[in-house]
Amino acid sequence: MHKINVAQKLSCFQDHWSPKIVGELNGQHVKLVKFQGEFVWHHHDSEDELFLVVHGSFRMDYKDTAGAENPWRLKKANS
């Protein structure tokens, strides 16, 4: 098992909206990204997305729902 220190990886970069690949699971990339400002809704035809807020919060609007995401809550976006 390979452990990833998320806090350490996040401290390695300051830029926003530039995802960094830190691992892979079942053929899917595990990415870290720092958000700032508006997150525009989009989807991926062949991928799901999982959001884990570590610090701060953001609002995620879907086609049919919306809600604030707060630290240490997971949000899975289906394709």
- In the numeric block, the tokens 């991928």 are attached to 47
The residue among 62, 77, 66, 68 whose CA lies nearest residue 28 is: 77
pTM of the model: 0.69
What's the rounded mean pLDDT across residues 31-47? 81
Does residue 22 surpass a pLDDT of 90? yes
What's the rounded mean pLDDT across residues 19-43? 86
For residue 10, the model assigns a pLDDT of 93
Q: Is the dihedral of CA 12, 56, 76, 7 positive or negative?
A: positive
